[in-house]
Amino acid sequence: MADLRKVALFTNEYPPNVYGGAGVHVEYLSKALARLVPVEVRCFGDQRVDGPNLSVRGYPLWEETKRGTDPRFGGAVDAFARSLLMAKDTLDADVVHCHTWYTDMGGLLASKLWGVPYVLTIHSLEPLRPWKVEQLGNAYHLSAWMERTAIEQADAVIAVSKETRDDVLRLFTIDPARVHVIYNGIDLAEYRRATATDALVRYGVDPARPYVLFVGRITRQKGIIHLVNAIPHLDPELQVVLCAGAPDTPEIGQEMQERVAAVSQGREGVIWIREMLARPDVIQMYSHAAVFCCPSVYEPFGIINLEAMACETAVVASAVGGIKEVVVPEETGILVPLELKPGTFEPQDPAQFSLDLATGINRLARDPALRARFGQAGRRRVEEHFSWDAIAQKTLELYRGLVASRAAG
């Protein structure tokens, strides 16, 4: 296998600008890789770090991309522009590894300009997120084109679950030999059960009462509206803690506002935390939750389930995508069946889905012994299968194989 001088990671999200699972993935992967090989991160933002084995360069928003156009086009046009800037800057890495459609085109362009292989990690797929038309308008077709073009020309594609690999092979024209499965990971030292409860108290959560927890953005994909609609069916003794901010659109933000207000009528203990919490605070929230709920309608992996399991919290999650490869039913949590309307990501029966979520949550909330057993099994599973060091080693082996193949012609 070839030795590597350096690897370059291209990403939209990087600390302190992290708002989703892809950003968490890149943050921890870059640190784990940097213990093995020099790493340069190019990201959206104004970051600048020059460490011995991990350097970070941010690329700020170019205001011109938002001027004189439909406001909904700004995100996709800006992503294209910043991808070009990332790609054209002098590159001394042996391989480029891109994350999300925002930078996929940057990898393709850098590969052409600097003659190095490029890898894409699939955290989600544009063809499976049609609701983004609501957010991006026709620029959704630009983001989908950038993603397709980059995927179909990539030297390798990493899918974060087996089901995501199947989606890639079904939706794109690509040699199956170029599509690999490498799971997301978790920092086992950081994500572990916390005893402190000051964050709970600060945000109005009663540590003496059990609660169900949601952590995520307000998007169609994350299914939070279905959990909100389940609240009237939940045990009234159960608090509901929604760590949910950054709505995709004003419309879904307004819908969330109205539904939370409606289900909170006559019920105490519905707590909506709209700001992004510091990681130690989130870990406290996971650690003391009776149940963590992931009601996603589309989820290639679902790193939040790993985070909850690492904190020894039982999980109730929808049986979709990569969640089925993370949560083991009746061992680390409960998987709720979800049948979608053909060609959509709308539940066939939304009311039944919400009721099924509530049934699973209530079952765990009322059975402390079962919760404890699931929580302990979840921690063991995370320790055995999802450490970042193991994932970084697999990723590095893939890089070396690509570089060796290119050198051999």
The pLDDT value recorded for residue 1 is 47
3-state secondary structure the chain: CCCCCCEEEEECCECCECCCHHHHHHHHHHHHHHCCCCEEEEEECCCEEECCCEEEEEECCCHHHHCCCCHHHHHHHHHHHHHHHHHHCCCCCCEEEEECHHHHHHHHHHHHHHCCCEEEEECCCHHHCHHHHHHHCCHHHHHHHHHHHHHHHCCEEEECCHHHHHHHHHHCCCCHHHEEECCCCECCCCCCCCCCCHHHHHCCCCCCCCEEEEEEECCCCCCHHHHHHHHHHCCCCCEEEEEEECCCCHHHHHHHHHHHHHHHCCCCCEEEECCCCCHHHHHHHHHHCCEEEECCCCCCCCHHHHHHHHCCCCEEEECCCCHHHHCCECCCEEEECCCECCCCCCECCHHHHHHHHHHHHHHHHCCHHHHHHHHHHHHHHHHHHCEHHHHHHHHHHHHHHHHHHHHHC
* Pairing label, strands 95-99, 54-59: unpaired
The pLDDT value recorded for residue 265 is 93
* End-to-end Cα separation, the chain, in angstroms: 15
**Strand order across the beta sheet in which 291-294 lies:** 270-273, 239-245, 211-217, 291-294, 315-318, 333-336
Residue 67: CB atoms within 10 Å: 8
Cα–Cα distances in angstroms (integers) from residue 403 to residues 7, 259, 310, in the given order: 11, 52, 35
Give the CA dihedral 48, 50, 53, 57, nearest 10 degrees. Answer: 30
The pLDDT value recorded for residue 323 is 96
Q: Where are the domains of the chain?
A: 7-185+387-408, 198-385
The pLDDT value recorded for residue 2 is 59
The pLDDT value recorded for residue 249 is 85
Give the CA dihedral 330, 335, 336, 337, nearest 10 degrees. Answer: -110
Q: Same fold for the domain at 7-185+387-408 and the one at 198-385?
A: yes
pLDDT in tens, the chain (409 residues): 458 999 999 999 999 999 888 999 999 999 999 999 999 999 999 999 999 999 999 999 988 988 999 988 988 999 999 999 999 999 999 999 999 999 999 999 999 999 999 999 999 999 888 777 777 889 999 999 999 999 999 999 999 999 999 999 999 999 999 999 999 999 999 999 999 999 999 999 999 999 999 999 898 889 999 999 999 999 999 999 999 988 888 889 999 999 999 999 989 999 999 998 999 999 999 999 999 999 999 998 989 999 999 999 999 999 999 999 999 999 999 999 999 998 778 899 999 999 999 999 999 999 999 999 999 999 999 999 999 998 999 999 999 999 999 988 7
Q: Write down the architecture of domain 198-385 according to CATH.
A: 3-Layer(aba) Sandwich (3.40)
Cα–Cα dist 376/192, whole Å: 11
CATH code, 7-185+387-408: 3.40.50.2000
Cα–Cα dist 10/17, whole Å: 14
